[in-house]
Structure 1
Amino acid sequence: MSNIPKGSTVLVTGANGFIASHVADQLLAAGYLVRGTVRSTSKADWLFERFDKAYGKGKFVCVEVPDMVQDGAFDEVVKGVSGIIHLASVVTFSSNPDEVITPTVKGALNIITSATKEPSVKSLVYTSSSTAVMMPQANEAITVTKGTWNDASVKAAYEPNAAGYSVYAASKTEAERAIWRATKETKPHFQVSAVLPSANFGPILQPGGESSSSTASWILKLWDGATGLWDFPPQWFVDVRDTAQLHVAALIDPSCDGQRIFAFAETYRWNTLLGIMRKQNPGRKFIEDNENEGADLTKVPNGEAEELLKKHFGHGWIGLEESIKANTATFKV
């Protein structure tokens, strides 16, 4: 059952991003038309090249939204669309909350405000993050619920010498909360849902395979022998293709209205990733294991997300080994 017929147009903001490009790809594969937004259309050349070849010309179009913070930034681009998936966010990892939190929240509010003005909109999906719930904490037995929020990062973001990753986490926390507050206050004529992905691995669609601001680049860093990742505790992962398909499911499935959908497939450790990469690439030498790493013991409500994948796409979570193999295939020679 779908509330958006195939052939309808779906708006995907920030379409040239790692996850957003996969969302656009999955929408096109499912039979929808995609209108993407980018800050500059020059950033979309590779998207046209890929999608025109795969799905035919005219199925994907792209428009400029240079500044999502401007009032009415999305008013024109939402016209005539049946669905909206808002992925555009600030990923500079600046430690200045005014440069990250403020524009991310304003962009989220702008998209829902524009959507309420457009009668054709039937569904809006906001791309949140696992960091809107909590920061990963090794060896801590934490139970996450649908009502869990990362208040600790919001507080830390405004303290002196705040870490850029904490500021980013605060931006996702506050933006998602702003979406839910606006939904409660305005009672829009369309359904609203949020997808909260954990660390995304898997194939990178952009030529070159680097996508430096995404978690997929962590696999490249391991490939190249970097140890700076030890600063990030092990956590949950999800394959980016599953994340994208969950966005499609959230968009079209009426049961997702008002839901937070947790895209958490399984936990990983850096040593586990290295072991998989050694197994898959027996002729390559990798860095030694990290002797001091812990494990993510968090329990998350991810069962409904897996059921959505089975319901709409006929499969459960993509496993870690398959995801890593697809991830490395996009950059290794």
Structure 2
Amino acid sequence: MTTDTTVFVSGATGFIALHIVNDLLKAGYTVIGSGRSQEKNDGLLKKFNNNPKLSMEIVEDIAAPNAFDEVFKKHGKEIKIVLHTASPFHFETTNFEKDLLTPAVNGTQSILEAIKKYAADTVEKVIVTSSTAALVTPTDMNKEDLVITEESWNKDTWDSCQANAVAAYCGSKKFAEKTAWEFLKENKSSVKFTLSTINPGFVFGPQMFADSLKHGINTSSGIVSELIHSKVGGEFYNYCGPFIDVRDVSKAHLVAIEKPECTGQRLVLSEGLFCCQEIVDILNEEFPQLKGKIATGEPATGPSFLEKNSCKFDNSKTKKLLGFQFYNLKDCIVDTAAQMSEVQNEA
């Protein structure tokens, strides 16, 4: 891709998307982002010093019919790449269909329909930010003999994934991603874009802008924050699963744009498995100011816990396609926690 290429980033104010926008601008791309309000959009433009290569459009509700039509009516002839990062990620709901499943699916459907209507000849690549949640159900996550690869799919149905908020979120990622692949299959003759998906595990790492931490944080970062604020002798839930640093997620989006070999691929982003015990061990070892003040759990038992309580991920195909080294857990958590501590000390 030449650097005069225009990229549209949906949900540009999100945790991952802000890193992507930053990396795109650094690489010389022109970026059009969407956010939910004028206030959010103005805030983002200000953070990037009103960079002339960055502009923002309002998409109030990605679940609304024709949510992206106005954006593509206005800019369709200039947008070559679409990165669809917008999707609800929270567990604060009991109406799973309305708050998680439908918005994820409708948002994906409506952005692709808008491309078909207004940019069928101009958009060359679509990259959908999916998740490892699309690969495996929460109940299968703890099957120690299961190996998940780029070919795996979450087995939950629309009904079965509504058992609880976590299952519904995981289901929403599966059905949104399926929507994208099926749309392309059905509309091959009327659009020219290729499709890739990026499927990260739990995403840790520093915020692009530290002050984002003052306004509520993304779900994965919340895990680290809870452990930093745990009490000595306290218990914590030992979450486990695949992890990746947000900076690697962003970089993978750019590689997916630039490397033809990534076309048509599901790129599974995981540097390995983590559990909260390992994060607590890192916090106690690397931050003297926390040692003796936060939970310790059962130090050094992380690897044996993972051995018995987590399925395995084999994303060697993705690692080969992307061709760069991911951040390890220690560096990722140290950078995340250092930023959180700094912001807290300023408060």
TM over 0.5: yes
1:13-61 deviations in Å (ceiling 9; x for gaps): 1111111111111111221111110111211344223322xxx621221
Task: Tell me the distance in 1 between the aligned counterparts of 2:236 and 2:23.
Answer: 30
Where in structure 2 are the equivalents of 1:1-333 lying within 5 Å?
4-52=1-49, 57-78=51-72, 79=76, 80-93=78-91, 94-99=93-98, 100-117=100-117, 118=119, 119-134=121-136, 135=138, 137-138=141-142, 140-152=144-156, 154-158=158-162, 162-187=163-188, 188-206=191-209, 207-209=211-213, 211-225=216-230, 230=237, 233-284=239-290, 285-289=293-297, 294-295=305-306, 297-310=310-323, 315-332=324-341, 333=345
Contact 1:154 1:173 in 2 (8 A): no
Distance 1:307 1:74, change over 3 A: same
Task: Tell me the distance in 2 between the aligned counterparts of 1:59 and 1:287.
Answer: 46
Secondary structure class of the residue paired with 2:173: helix
Task: Tell me the distance in 2 between the aligned counterparts of 1:287 and 1:201.
Answer: 20
1:276, CA displacement in angstroms? 0.9
Distance 1:259 1:96, change over 3 A: same
Q: Which stretch of structure 1 is more off in the superposition, 220-229 or 322-331?
A: 220-229
Partner amino acid, structure 1, of 2:230: G
Task: Tell me the distance in 2 between the aligned counterparts of 1:145 and 1:275.
Answer: 29
Contact 1:123 1:252 in 2 (8 A): no
Partner amino acid, structure 1, of 2:270: F
Aligned identity (percent) is 28
Contact 1:246 1:308 in 2 (8 A): no
1:88-126 deviations in Å (ceiling 9; x for gaps): 112242232321211210110111111223022110001
Secondary structure class of the residue paired with 2:55: strand
Secondary structure class of the residue paired with 1:287: coil
Task: Tell me the distance in 2 between the aligned counterparts of 1:240 and 1:288.
Answer: 26
Secondary structure class of the residue paired with 1:331: helix
Contact 1:208 1:331 in 2 (8 A): no
Distance 1:229 1:252, change over 3 A: farther
1:155, CA displacement in angstroms? 4.1
Contact 1:204 1:216 in 2 (8 A): no
1:183, CA displacement in angstroms? 0.9
Distance 1:214 1:45, change over 3 A: farther
1:176-211 deviations in Å (ceiling 9; x for gaps): 011111111111301101000000110112414264
Partner amino acid, structure 2, of 1:63: E
1:156, CA displacement in angstroms? 2.8
Task: Tell me the distance in 2 between the aligned counterparts of 1:201 and 1:111.
Answer: 27
Distance 1:279 1:228, change over 3 A: closer
Contact 1:208 1:330 in 2 (8 A): no
> Alignment length, in residue pairs?
319
Task: Tell me the distance in 1 between the aligned counterparts of 2:18 and 2:289.
Answer: 32
Task: Tell me the distance in 2 between the aligned counterparts of 1:31 and 1:10.
Answer: 11
Secondary structure class of the residue paired with 1:47: helix
Partner amino acid, structure 2, of 1:91: F
Partner amino acid, structure 2, of 1:254: P
Contact 1:33 1:59 in 2 (8 A): yes
Contact 1:138 1:233 in 2 (8 A): no
Contact 1:126 1:176 in 2 (8 A): yes
1:168, CA displacement in angstroms? 0.8
Partner amino acid, structure 1, of 2:222: S
Segments of structure 1 that go 5 or more residues without pairing to the other structure are none
